[in-house]
Structure 1
């Protein structure tokens, strides 16, 4: 889970995000996805974090400070 979730989303784009997140949701819960993304050391973009937050209607979070 800690490896698969970030790697599945590291290369996602707004155009492919829906398909990518649906694939993850078939295996993992919303809470698992969010918690892994918040704690991973993988280079997940802030844009992906915002897309995840919007999908789950949670406060936006970022991996990197701007």
Structure 2
């Protein structure tokens, strides 16, 4: 069975602000799926993207950030 955390609306944000310093708590997530790809997010326009194989087109995916961003 997939472990589900309450939705963001059902719990307080995990983002904390202290003296203008932004910190984020780390959550643990359990996912069930078919494949895992370890990759890097790259800039594109005003956003960013993650490349996955073409065979994944139309599939449902979940993206999990595992480190702090460089910005």
TM-score (norm 2): 0.25
**Larger RCO: Structure 1 or Structure 2 (Cα < 8 Å, ≥ 6 residues apart)?**
1
Over alpha carbons, which structure has the higher Rg? 2
TM-score (norm 1): 0.26
Q: Which has the higher helix share?
A: 1
